[in-house]
Amino acid sequence: MTRAARTRNRPESRNRLYRRLDERVALGVCAGVAEYWGLDAWLVRTGAVVGLFVFTVPTVLAYLLAGWLLDPAPAGLYASRDEAAFWQRVRTEPEQTVRGLGLRTRDIERRMRAIEAYVTSREFGLRRDIDELGG
């Protein structure tokens, strides 16, 4: 199976490791790893260079294999920087992300209950009736 055929069969995912061709130095592997884990690209590149000196053959093979296996990042994968930051947090801190979503959901539910209580109250009905008399 060719690379193009393999790429076409996979759906886009915001939670997948991609090569970043827009920020690449060579194949975009280090930039992709940096984006996936929420690190600075220079930090990952520095680690790759150190690995190149310490473990030359395995580092070169791993880099070339990753460059061959990883798909390039699709254009427009994230709608905004906030969305990209959210998905980085999902990958690096899944418990915190789920907890944060739970807190947001509870806050929305609390506010909806308050609105429902107001709309079904006698005060709301009375105000509506007074507004209808005046208008």
Sign of the dihedral defined by the CA atoms of residues 75, 76, 81, 82, in that order: negative
Please report the pLDDT score of residue 1 as a whole number: 44
19 bridge partner residues: 72
pTM for this prediction = 0.56
Please report the pLDDT score of residue 2 as a whole number: 47
Taking the C-alpha atoms of residue 64 and residue 47, their distance in angstroms, rounded to an integer, is 16
Please report the pLDDT score of residue 58 as a whole number: 92
Interval 6-64: pLDDT, tens: 555 566 766 777 888 777 788 889 988 888 887 888 999 999 999 999 999 999 999 99
How would residue 3 be classed by pLDDT, with cut points 50, 70 and 90? low
